[in-house]
């Protein structure tokens, strides 16, 4: 491995010889002196080189210096270079109060000079050239935040004795609704891509795993083009045994959110402030909980009637109730609970007293749904009835129903979209901004 120093570590080094590697951000090619802003995964630094424009006959080394000067003049943005030079601390240098005086430069990869995107390119164009788009410090930070957030969740799960599972994404049948299912040619039969790990994370319960988690892809053949939908997304899932109700799931859920936000604020709070102009705050627990019927009343009182025939909320309703919660409780999160059974999947457990309601919730963050959770129905006879009521064929669900026939503990869990959390945390307008490579109905590349 070459002995390069990360740019962020330069400020702590004494003056002297250093080697830095990265890509060319800008070149300022003045007559007497050349400046290169070099960027790596950790930051940016100014490289300075006194230009030597002509070979002096009486100076043997001048040919080499001219060659270097010309190489710098010819540097295109995005070229990857390694520079060895002398580190100087100088408060007058705006970029970090230091610069590196170039001694030698190695251009390891020349970039095509015409960069196909600029800062003001459309989101779609930027996605075409995502690998260049991701060089922006803001984008780099997004994925460092993602890394920290996920790791904090995993640390919580590990500390609490959860088992990590990897459920198969190839299934013989649908896991949620037949409508949004991708079909795969599977030797001489068909397979389907898992819309969620729902059935298989539940399977861990009769398997006696107790508490499980998974972070993995989920697939929805959803033709919509909203800023919140993708055909492939990273789903954060957890499922636990021996709960009394969805309240136990919500407690786990808010603890996880707090763990994730705490880690993000600690590690990236300053960088987020600088690059996004935002103050990310760690939410307090318990998060407010509002039954859906009450939420609709509150929203109506604010002058918004949810224009839906079914009992569901709509996106504007979610924004309105979030605004109310923000005003009333100063909170960015709210659990909407007790959704009507008519609009919930057959496997959500219903309320003991009122079968028209489920023991379920949605988690709303800054006005947008990021997650659905519930206690699951574990009584197989009830489950079959609920499946039939939804127009499903119990025969197609046999493998799933078997999970409940040989003993199963009461259990529940949630699934949460990773990109939605990041989008709302960073006040971005689309999950495309916070997805490494977005997949949509018309987007399969790069």
**Is 24 among the residues that bind its own copies (CB under 8 A)?**
yes
The verdict on whether residue 289 carries a ligand-binding annotation is no
**Is 225 among the residues that bind its own copies (CB under 8 A)?**
no
Q: Which is nearer to its own copies, 313 or 422 (CB)?
A: 422
Closest Cα partner for 85 from 53, 59, 55, 46? 46
- Report how far residue 193's alpha carbon sits from residue 229's, in angstroms, rounded to the nearest whole number: 17
Asked if 183 and 163 count as a contact pair (C-beta separation under 8 A), the reply is: no
**Is 412 among the residues that bind its own copies (CB under 8 A)?**
no
Q: Which residue among 56, 63, 67, 158 contacts its own copies (CB under 8 A)? A: 158
**Is 78 among the residues that bind its own copies (CB under 8 A)?**
yes
b/e per residue, 123-134, with b = 16+ CB within 10 A? eeebbeebebbe
**Is 170 among the residues that bind its own copies (CB under 8 A)?**
yes
Chain positions 257 to 316 lying near its own copies, rule: CB under 8 A, are: none
**Is 323 among the residues that bind its own copies (CB under 8 A)?**
no
Can you tell me whether residue 445 is helix, strand or coil?
coil
Minimum distance from CB of 318 to its own copies (Å)? 26
**What DSSP assignment string belongs to 237-287?**
EEEEES-SSHHHHHHHHHHHHHHHHHHHHHHHHHHHHHHH-----PPPSSP
Chain positions 192 to 221 lying near its own copies, rule: CB under 8 A, are: 193, 200, 203-204, 206-211, 216-217, 219, 221
The verdict on whether residue 369 carries a ligand-binding annotation is yes
Asked if 357 and 374 count as a contact pair (C-beta separation under 8 A), the reply is: no
Minimum distance from CB of 45 to its own copies (Å)? 14
- Residue 207's contacts (CB-CB under 8 Å, 6 or more residues apart) are none
Q: Which residue among 126, 220, 344, 378 contacts its own copies (CB under 8 A)? A: 378
- For the CA atoms of 339, 344, 346, 347, the dihedral, rounded to the nearest 10 degrees, stands at -70
b/e per residue, 146-159, with b = 16+ CB within 10 A? bebbbebbbebbee
Q: Which residue among 10, 23, 335, 415 contacts its own copies (CB under 8 A)? A: 23
Minimum distance from CB of 69 to its own copies (Å)? 21
One symbol per residue from 413 to 442: x for binding its own copies (CB under 8 A), - otherwise; what is it? -----x-----------------xx-x-xx
Chain positions 348 to 377 lying near its own copies, rule: CB under 8 A, are: none
Q: Which residue among 273, 388, 405, 427 contacts its own copies (CB under 8 A)? A: 405
**Is 14 among the residues that bind its own copies (CB under 8 A)?**
no
One symbol per residue from 36 to 75: x for binding its own copies (CB under 8 A), - otherwise; what is it? ---xxxx---------------------------------
Chain positions 110 to 139 lying near its own copies, rule: CB under 8 A, are: 110-112, 115-116, 129-132, 134-135
**Is 2 among the residues that bind its own copies (CB under 8 A)?**
yes
Run of H or E residues at 102 = strand 98-109
- Report how far residue 5's alpha carbon sits from residue 17's, in angstroms, rounded to the nearest whole number: 11
- Both tokens of residue 36? 């290169």
**Is 321 among the residues that bind its own copies (CB under 8 A)?**
no
Please, which residues bridge with residue 98 across strands? 89
- Report how far residue 22's alpha carbon sits from residue 37's, in angstroms, rounded to the nearest whole number: 10
The verdict on whether residue 372 carries a ligand-binding annotation is yes
Q: Which is nearer to its own copies, 154 or 344 (CB)?
A: 154
Asked if 246 and 374 count as a contact pair (C-beta separation under 8 A), the reply is: yes
The verdict on whether residue 415 carries a ligand-binding annotation is no
Crossing angle of helices 380-389 and 398-405, in 10° steps, is: 150
Minimum distance from CB of 374 to its own copies (Å)? 15
The verdict on whether residue 420 carries a ligand-binding annotation is yes
Report how many residues bind its own copies under the rule CB under 8 A: 106
Q: Which residues are annotated as a binding site?
A: 176, 220, 369, 372, 376, 417-420
Q: Which residues are annotated as a binding site for ATP?
A: 369, 417-420
């Amino acid at each position: 491995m070459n002995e390069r120093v990360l740019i962020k570590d330069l400020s702590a080094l004494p003056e002297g010889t250093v080697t830095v590697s990265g890509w060319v951000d800008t070149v300022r090619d003045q007559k007497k002196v050349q400046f290169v802003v070099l960027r790596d995964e950790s930051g940016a630094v100014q490289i300075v080189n006194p230009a030597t424009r002509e070979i002096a006959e009486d100076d043997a080394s001048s040919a080499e210096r001219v060659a270097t000067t010309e190489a710098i003049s010819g540097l295109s943005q995005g070229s990857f270079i390694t520079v060895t030079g002398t580190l100087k601390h100088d408060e007058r240098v705006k970029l970090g109060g230091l610069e590196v005086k170039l001694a030698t430069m190695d251009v390891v990869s020349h970039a095509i000079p015409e960069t196909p995107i600029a800062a003001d390119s459309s989101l779609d164009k930027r996605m075409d050239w995502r690998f260049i788009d991701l060089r922006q410090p803001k984008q780099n930070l997004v994925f460092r935040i993602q890394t920290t957030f996920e790791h904090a969740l995993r640390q919580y799960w590990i500390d609490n004795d959860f088992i990590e599972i990897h459920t198969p994404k190839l299934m013989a049948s649908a896991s949620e609704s037949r409508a949004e299912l991708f079909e795969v040619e599977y030797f001489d039969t068909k397979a389907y891509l898992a819309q969620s790990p729902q059935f298989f994370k539940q399977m861990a319960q009769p398997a006696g795993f107790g508490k499980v988690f998974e972070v993995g892809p989920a697939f929805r053949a959803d033709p919509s083009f909203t800023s919140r939908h993708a055909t492939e997304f990273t789903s954060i899932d957890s499922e636990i045994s021996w709960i009394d109700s969805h309240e136990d799931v919500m407690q786990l859920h808010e603890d996880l959110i707090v763990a994730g936000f705490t880690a993000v604020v600690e590690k990236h709070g300053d960088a987020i402030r600088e690059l996004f102009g935002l103050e990310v705050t760690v939410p307090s627990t318990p998060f407010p909980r509002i039954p859906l019927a009450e939420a609709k009343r509150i929203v109506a009182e604010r002058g918004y009637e949810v224009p839906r025939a079914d009992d569901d909320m709509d996106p504007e309703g979610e924004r309105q109730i979030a605004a109310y919660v923000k005003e009333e409780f100063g909170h960015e999160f709210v659990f909407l609970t007790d959704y009507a059974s008519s609009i919930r999947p057959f496997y959500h457990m219903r309320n003991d007293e009122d079968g028209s309601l489920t023991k379920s919730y949605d988690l709303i963050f800054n006005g947008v749904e990021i997650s659905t959770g519930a206690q699951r129905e574990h009584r197989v006879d009830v489950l079959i009835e609920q499946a039939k009521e939804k127009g499903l064929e119990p025969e197609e669900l046999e493998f799933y129903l078997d999970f409940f026939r040989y003993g199963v503990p009461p259990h529940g869990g949630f699934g949460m979209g990773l990109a939605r959390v990041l989008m709302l945390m960073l006040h971005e307008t689309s999950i495309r901004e916070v997805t490494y490579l977005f997949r949509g109905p018309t987007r399969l590349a790069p």
